[in-house]
Amino acid sequence: MTRIATLAARLLAMSTEIIAGLLLIAVTLLNLTQVGGRYFFNTGFSWTEEVMRYSMIWLMMLGSVACIFRVEHMGIEVLEGLVRPHLVRFVKSALYSVAAIFCVVILYYGWPLALRNAAQTAPASGIPMIIPYAALPVGAALMLVQIALSWLSGFEPDDAGAVNADTQDTGRTGAGQ
């Protein structure tokens, strides 16, 4: 079960990272187009700022899924350093529980909000507003899945293999010990 959870968590993280990376490339290209248009042609596209803003919302929500998999959220590392090593797993569990509750709240309130704005369109780009508003509930749902997979896989799927290999070679639990 742990191996399947780890594989599913890794697949979800890689998928969201790829999509977030493509969004970042698109935002960068749109930004360069806007800057180039303004400085070289004294004109710009009216829709690029909106598209960039909405893309960054999606990028942040998708990037958070990968951060959960990689255990790269800033607050987790700070709080883990305050407790003894044998209590770190409990701190992670508590922090992930709080994050899961927060994601449930975002999902609960975000989905009706997205549906309520489905008929609206963005003024400059004409994008249906359900697309940017859907980033919150979709991102929250993906984060909930990643949190559940992290619980099932033991929180640090990438580091577990390295620690086990290091323990077998040296008989100790870490490279620097």
d(CA 86, CA 83): 8
Break the chain into its structural domains and give their ranges.
2-170
| Structure-model confidence comparison of residues 107 and 81, the more confident one | 107
pLDDT surpasses 50 at 1:
yes
Q: What is the pLDDT of residue 163?
A: 40
CB 62 within 8 A of CB 20: yes
Mean pLDDT lowest for which of 18-27, 39-48, 70-79, 140-149?
A: 70-79
Q: Which residues sit opposite 148 in a β-bridge?
A: none
d(CA 82, CA 26): 40
Q: What is the pLDDT of residue 165?
A: 40
